[in-house]
Amino acid sequence: MSSRPKRNQHIDSFLANLRLEKGLSTNTINAYASDCRSFVGWVESVANADILSLDEKLVETYLTYFQSQGLARSTINRKLSSIKHFYLFLQKKKLISFNAIAGVTGPKNVRPLPKSMSESEVESLIQSPDCQTFIGLRDRAMLELLYATGVRISELTNLQYSNIDLNRSLIKVMGKGNKERMIPFGENALSCLLDYINFRRANNLSLSSRDFFISQQGKQITRQAFWHRIKQYLSKTGLSPDISPHTLRHAFATHLLNNGADLRSVQMLLGHSDLSTTQIYTHIAKQRLSEMVKKHHPRG
């Protein structure tokens, strides 16, 4: 068997392990696949080396190659992380005796604060859809639910009727790593959801579909389609074009902390496995408080 089929077999086994044992999403697995195949291809074609007998110097050369391309530190570190997981898998399978990548470190990340929105900006965006139409009612309900729950855009578009408890104002979502969580929402979101449901029923719009948010053709709305709709509303309201569906998730967390919510509760609502991921929002909250004092205090 040639080295190329063997190489493909090693990567396929690794990806199968991620899918079956780690429960990672398809998007995450695709990212691992791309990173590992690019690295292995570089090792064999450019460095003319065997992927099962590497040294640290070769890996560091690969990272230097990325830096010369101007890739962001976060991108380089993500690629390195993928490769490290791959070689840890090879080590566990006893395909390599020495893991040359284990001790390699990437460039230090400078983590930027996520973009957020003021409460008035969120209100302006949510009010922008025309609720006299099906699309407007749907978009308004989606925006309200995004801001009310802080779910990821993929979690929102994957919602099904069975995931929504209107009596208790709760939604059930499946997050990263197939972790399920229940998230409450408020009266504004509930009202918009009911308006959307009633319109679908009154106009017999794909009532057999299990997908909650659908297109005019009765199919599940895609992330790309909803992102396109948001761009139109941003243009209509004059808000920053840098705002994305994920910005509403940031706004959800920031506004909760600004209004006294504790960090652990916000962590649970967002579905973060590590509290340090949630802590970044405390910096945004402190920054906003500082700006408020400077703007409104007589001696600010």
**Do 38 and 174 share a structural domain?**
no
Query: Do 146 and 287 share a structural domain?
Result: yes
Q: Are residues 86 and 198 in the same domain?
A: no
45 and 131 fall within a common domain: no
- 127 and 85, same structural domain? no
107 located within any domain: no
Confirm whether 99 is domain-assigned. Answer: no
* Domain's final residue, options 92, 114, 139: 92
Distance, in Å, from the CA atom of 158 to the CA atom of 41, rounded to the nearest integer, reads 35
pLDDT at position 98 is 86
pLDDT tens per residue, the chain (300 residues)?
Answer: 445 566 678 899 999 988 888 778 888 899 999 999 999 888 888 878 888 888 888 888 888 888 788 888 888 889 999 999 999 999 999 998 888 888 888 877 666 656 778 899 999 999 999 999 999 999 999 999 999 999 999 999 999 999 999 999 999 988 777 788 899 999 999 999 999 999 999 998 887 789 999 998 889 999 999 999 999 999 999 998 888 888 888 888 888 888 888 778 888 888 777 776 666 666 655 555 455 556 655 554
Together in a domain, 188 and 53: no
Query: The sheet that has 180-184: what strands, in order across it?
Result: 164-165, 170-174, 180-184
Catalytic residue (choose from 176, 181, 223, 288): 176
pLDDT of residue 2: 43
Q: Does residue 118 fall inside a structural domain?
A: no
pLDDT recorded at residue 1: 40
Annotated active-site residue in 200, 249, 250, 255: 249
Asked if 246 is an active-site residue, the reply is yes
pTM for the full predicted model = 0.59
pLDDT of residue 277: 65
Token look-up 């691992």 returns 32
Q: 194 in helix, strand or coil?
A: helix
Asked whether residue 129 falls in the same domain as residue 276, the answer is yes
Q: Catalytic residue at 181?
A: no
Domain that holds residue 85: 3-92
For 78, half-sphere exposure in the C-beta direction (CA atoms, 13 angstrom radius) is 13
Q: What CATH number does residue 50 fall under? A: 1.10.150.130
Question: What three-state secondary structure class fits 171?
Answer: strand
**Which CATH number covers residue 162?**
1.10.443.10
Close Cβ partners of 259 (under 8 Å, ≥ 6 residues apart): none
| 152 is annotated as an active-site residue | yes
**Amino acid 4: pLDDT:** 58
Q: What does the angle CA 38 – CA 41 – CA 43 come to, to the nearest 5 degrees?
A: 110
Residues 65 and 199 in one domain: no
- Work out whether the CA dihedral 274, 276, 280, 281 comes out positive or negative: positive
> How far apart, in Å, are the Cα atoms of 83 and each of 20, 181, 256?
19, 30, 37
Distance (Å, whole) CA 21 – CA 169: 33
Is 146 contained in some domain? yes
Catalytic residue list contains 281: yes
Given the residues 32, 62, 87, 281, the one annotated as active site: 281
Active-site residue, selected from the candidate residues 10, 85, 152, 229: 152
Instruction: State how far the Cα of 126 lies from the Cα of 110, in Å rounded to an integer.
Output: 32
In what helix (H) or strand (E) does residue 236 lie, and over which residues does it extend? helix 223-237
Whether 116 maps to a domain, the answer reads no
One domain, residues 82 and 148: no
**147 and 53: one domain?**
no
What sign has the CA pseudo-torsion 99, 102, 103, 104? Answer: positive
Structure tokens of 190?
Answer: 């509930």
Q: Establish if 201 belongs to a structural domain.
A: yes
Query: Would you say the C-alpha torsion 204, 161, 266, 230 has a positive or negative sign?
Result: negative
Residue 60 lies in a domain: yes
pLDDT score, position 178: 76
Closest CA to 176 of 272, 74, 78, 35: 272
Q: How many domains are there within the chain? A: 2
228 included as an active-site residue: no
* 86 and 229 part of one domain: no
8 A C-beta contact, residue 157 and residue 220: yes
86: left (phi over 0), alpha (psi -120 to 50) or beta: alpha
Distance CA 294, CA 300 (A): 4
The yes-or-no answer on residue 176 being catalytic is yes
Rounded Cα distance, 247 and 100, in Å: 39
Q: Which of 37, 73, 115, 246 is catalytic?
A: 246
User: In angstroms, rounded to a whole number, what is the distance separating the alpha carbons of residues 3 and 19?
Assistant: 24
* Together in a domain, 166 and 274: yes
137 contacts: CB under 8 Å, gap ≥ 6: 129, 131, 192, 195, 196, 199
Residue 5: its pLDDT value, please? 61
Residue 111 lies in a domain: no
* Residue with token string 């609502």: 269
| pLDDT value of position 244 | 85
